Structure 1
Amino acid sequence: MNQNWHGTLIRHLLLLVTACLLVGLITGDYGWSMAVGLGIYLAWTLKQLLRMHNWLREHKPDEPPPDGYGLWGDVFDSIYHQQRRDQRVHARLQAVIDRIQESTAALRDAVIMLDSDGNLEWWNRAAETLLGLKTPQDSGQPVTNLVRHPRFKDYFEQNNYAEPLEIPSPINDRVRVQLLITRYGNNEHLMLVRDVTRIHQLEQMRKDFVANVSHELRTPLTVICGYLETLIDNAEGMNPRWVRALQQMQQQSERMQALLNDLLLLAKLEATDYPSDNQPVVVSTLLQIIKNDALALSAQRKQRITLSIVNEAKLKGSESELRSAFSNLVFNAVKYTQAEGTIHIRWWDDEQGAHMSVQDSGPGIETKHLPRLTERFYRVDSSRASNTGGTGLGLAIVKHVLLRHRGTLEIVSVVGKGCTFTCHFAPAQVINS
């Protein structure tokens, strides 16, 4: 096309020069003829440029360019054809966008698009039902201003969206929603929200059932344990076979009591999101007490237990819950570490928050078991776990305590070299002395 325009321009100039020369031949003044001819051509060209400028400035999207002649006619025709091509492409893209919006509008799950700063860009109808978003006044608003649950604010700001978040709906506390955020494009966010009320109700029924059964079993089990203790205390002259049976019954009843206590503790931890007694906890003193208890537990096994306190940072939370979590980790290390083995407890803080680790020289755990260690009743080796008298709920309790204290559990293990369990707490939970 550029070559055609170039040839047309040359032909027009040759015709103009020829016409000017003929006029000059007739009038006898070639200079004025050329000047007047070129001036007229320049004025015509400027007029066409002015028409194009006015059209570009004032035209509507579907308005075609003005009519023209000669070279400018070709220019306007080229613009017109390009305009039509752009309109067809735009129509196809708009059709695709309309279909996507129609399909997402029909979804029961909410779809929300956020920019890199977390401001609302677009959402479907389900977002209005589940989160109460309003069109168009909420457009451009930060999502944390509209979904004000504290757990959502922490979840959004931590930039770690590997796991979904479940919270009550902002417009109806009886509706539970699950949120999952995915990054895309230029650090933008795509948030999916679904109604999980039914699943939450079923989970709550399971929790209530476990808590109620555990509570109901506690009284009869206490009676059984009391009578067994009385019988064993008065076992003089009794057949040794009966004494042995009574002792085994007492051992198993105590184990059942420990199991019920752990189930009731888990039910209590799951009842609320955060500890009710959110007070500063002196972790160094707490770990020293747990270390002394661990030394008493491992006295016959001659294990070496050390404690390293790098600083005196405190934690906001429940001392009883933190004691339960930390002691579970330390006592597990005592149970599964061989005689004369080493166990090292460490407490420190840095820019990422505060950390407590328990490192042992035990047999270690295979990598395939690590993701499931915090599940209820999951056992790496059921026979070995039974021998230690564990309930299979210790690490589940640790997980729930850490969740309530904005913490995470990291497990590193090498078979034959031992394990390291590390509790990481967010900087917001740390109180520096």
Structure 2
Amino acid sequence: MRLWSRELWRIAWLATLGVLLGWLLDAPGLGLAAGLAACLFYHLRQLLALFQWLTLHPQDEPPSARGMWGELLDRLYRYQKSQRITQSRLRATLARIQESSEAMRDSVVMLDRHGDLEWWNSAATEMLGLQTAHDRGQHITNLLRDPRFISYFNACEYGEPLTLTSPIDESRILQYQITLYGDDERLLMARDITRLHRLEQMRRDFVANVSHELRTPLTVLSGYLETYSDLSDQLPPRLGRGIGQMQEQATRMQNLVNDLLLLSRLEIDQGGKDHQPLDIKSLLESIRRDALALSGQQHNNQTHNVQVIIETEAQLIGSEPEIRSAVSNLVFNAVRYTPVGSQITLRWTTMENGSAYIEVVDNGEGVDPVHIPRLTERFYRVDKGRSTATGGTGLGLAIVKHVLLRHDAQLHITSRPGEGAQFRCVFPATQVIHQ
């Protein structure tokens, strides 16, 4: 404000001087005009100097000036200097980011808000076949044309990665992960998981082959044990007890082998061929009868209270054997791990968004929430001693998870110690036929 006041006083002084000179020449108006013209000329000259400095020599020091123009030029010079320092730092940071990205073995691709290619590292050239000269500015789906990738990209739901073969080498397995940042821009990363995929395939083949090979000797062993069991009254008591125990363990091994074979089939087979509208009411009633039979068998004819609640006439599209297996595992677990007489409820209902769910709820001991994220892992047991005593294989919830994945469904588990457990199989609207 002080500089501005000085500038106003300078203009007033020049105007007054012009008027006085004009008055001496008997032309005060002309003198005033001459004073204001001198002031305007001064400011235009300073403006020209500023323009020439900014356009012709921006790196040099500003031209010398006094008053408000001098302060303005100094401020502009300091601002330019700070901006150059900031830009230099940003360029150095960007160069380090690009250098580190170049050193990565994983592909890194930067996309703008429209999905067009902006920058990528050399690993992306090797894995995805991107070429700098031709592909920059192209939309990513013009180069990665797999329908599954296009659906994944357009869905904008990047919580889980996508596994596909490389577009330039079908023997190479890549895992794609997209991250949103900035103004709807995307960072695409692709990782080579060929070795992990092969190891996983070897594991699946090993489990499937071993389980299949165990099936025949177990069948033979169980057959002989059953024959000896029928003749138990002719055998010594100690031998009879041993045959009974061997028969129980053989049955347990058969159940384990059957579950392993079912899991292997669910992992290998894509599924969907036998999907059809299902009568959920009759299916749940059948599972209820099986659960009561299991309960009576385990608790000397004392059973749980198992009920079925149907709240909608909607039909579920799916595989009847797979859905039966998934829901049966949930209900049988409730029977095994809750005291006799406990309440177990099977519910089929729809939601406002068109989806539907099958729910299994019990009022048993419940599970500590710390265990819930791992319940669907193979052979994971909350209480190993109790699980062994109940005859479970530790594969039931893993089977449930894979069945639901094949139906685009999700398993939601809610439980607390002493408050029972709730297992909800949520099916998307695309799998539900509303009446």
TM-score, length of structure 1 as denominator length: 0.84
> Are 1:65 and 1:76, in contact at CA under 8 Å, matched by a contact in 2?
no
Q: Is 1:18 the counterpart of 2:24 in the alignment?
A: no
What is the deviation of 1:171?
3.7
Residues 266 and 117 of structure 1, relative CA distance in 2, 3 Å threshold: farther
Spell out the pairing of 1:142-153 with structure 2 (5 A cutoff).
146=144, 148=146, 150=148, 153=151
* Residue in 2 that maps onto 1:215: 212
Q: Is 1:225 the counterpart of 2:227 in the alignment?
A: no
Match of 1:108 among 102, 105, 110: 105
* Residue in 2 that maps onto 1:317: 318
User: Counterparts of 2:83 and 2:245 in 1: how far apart (Å)?
Assistant: 86
Per the alignment, in what secondary structure is the counterpart of residue 367 of structure 2?
coil
Residue by residue over 1:171-191, the C-alpha shift from the partner in whole angstroms, topping out at 9 and shown as x without a partner, is: 433322334444545665544
> Are 1:155 and 1:165, in contact at CA under 8 Å, matched by a contact in 2?
no
Match of 2:124 among 119, 123, 127: 127
Per the alignment, in what secondary structure is the counterpart of residue 324 of structure 1?
helix
RMSD: 3.5
Residue by residue over 1:114-171, the C-alpha shift from the partner in whole angstroms, topping out at 9 and shown as x without a partner, is: 566766555433334334455474647366983645378358737362x544443344
Residues 342 and 69 of structure 1, relative CA distance in 2, 3 Å threshold: closer
> Are 1:304 and 1:343, in contact at CA under 8 Å, matched by a contact in 2?
yes
* Residue in 1 that maps onto 2:80: 83
The one-letter code of the counterpart of 2:398 is A
What is the deviation of 1:426?
2.5
The one-letter code of the counterpart of 1:150 is R
Residue by residue over 1:60-94, the C-alpha shift from the partner in whole angstroms, topping out at 9 and shown as x without a partner, is: 89577996866686345643453343223222222
Residues 367 and 67 of structure 1, relative CA distance in 2, 3 Å threshold: closer
Q: Is 1:240 the counterpart of 2:241 in the alignment?
A: no
* Residue in 2 that maps onto 1:39: 37
Which has the larger displacement, 117-126 or 188-197? 117-126
User: Counterparts of 2:116 and 2:128 in 1: how far apart (Å)?
Assistant: 15
What is the deviation of 1:293?
2.0
> Are 2:291 and 2:335, in contact at CA under 8 Å, matched by a contact in 1?
yes
Per the alignment, in what secondary structure is the counterpart of residue 410 of structure 2?
strand
User: Counterparts of 2:325 and 2:415 in 1: how far apart (Å)?
Assistant: 22
Spell out the pairing of 1:69-80 with structure 2 (5 A cutoff).
74=70, 75-76=72-73, 78-80=75-77
Per the alignment, in what secondary structure is the counterpart of residue 301 of structure 1?
coil
* Residue in 2 that maps onto 1:390: 392
> Are 1:65 and 1:79, in contact at CA under 8 Å, matched by a contact in 2?
no
User: Counterparts of 1:117 and 1:292 in 2: how far apart (Å)?
Assistant: 56
Residues 60 and 93 of structure 1, relative CA distance in 2, 3 Å threshold: farther
Which has the larger displacement, 231-240 or 91-100? 231-240
The one-letter code of the counterpart of 1:89 is T
What is the deviation of 1:304?
1.5
The one-letter code of the counterpart of 1:36 is A
Residue by residue over 1:288-320, the C-alpha shift from the partner in whole angstroms, topping out at 9 and shown as x without a partner, is: 222222233234223221111221333333222
What is the deviation of 1:344?
0.3
The one-letter code of the counterpart of 2:320 is E
User: Counterparts of 1:151 and 1:419 in 2: how far apart (Å)?
Assistant: 37
Per the alignment, in what secondary structure is the counterpart of residue 171 of structure 2?
strand
What is the deviation of 1:343?
0.8
Per the alignment, in what secondary structure is the counterpart of residue 340 of structure 2?
coil
* Residue in 1 that maps onto 2:292: 295
The one-letter code of the counterpart of 2:6 is G
Per the alignment, in what secondary structure is the counterpart of residue 159 of structure 1?
coil
User: Counterparts of 1:324 and 1:333 in 2: how far apart (Å)?
Assistant: 14
Task: Percent identity, please.
Answer: 46
User: Counterparts of 1:329 and 1:208 in 2: how far apart (Å)?
Assistant: 27
User: Counterparts of 1:53 and 1:274 in 2: how far apart (Å)?
Assistant: 73
User: Counterparts of 1:134 and 1:76 in 2: how far apart (Å)?
Assistant: 47
Per the alignment, in what secondary structure is the counterpart of residue 359 of structure 2?
strand
Residues 128 and 310 of structure 1, relative CA distance in 2, 3 Å threshold: farther
Match of 2:403 among 378, 401, 404: 401
Residue by residue over 1:17-64, the C-alpha shift from the partner in whole angstroms, topping out at 9 and shown as x without a partner, is: 425533542x232221222332354366457658867998xx489577
Residues 383 and 72 of structure 1, relative CA distance in 2, 3 Å threshold: closer
What is the deviation of 1:398?
0.7
Task: State the aligned residue count.
Answer: 428
Per the alignment, in what secondary structure is the counterpart of residue 174 of structure 1?
coil
Per the alignment, in what secondary structure is the counterpart of residue 283 of structure 2?
helix
TM-score, length of structure 2 as denominator length: 0.84
Spell out the pairing of 1:246-325 with structure 2 (5 A cutoff).
246-272=243-269, 274-299=271-296, 300-325=301-326
Spell out the pairing of 1:171-210 with structure 2 (5 A cutoff).
171-185=168-182, 189-210=186-207
Residues 14 and 45 of structure 1, relative CA distance in 2, 3 Å threshold: same
Per the alignment, in what secondary structure is the counterpart of residue 424 of structure 1?
strand
What is the deviation of 1:391?
1.0
> Are 2:176 and 2:191, in contact at CA under 8 Å, matched by a contact in 1?
yes
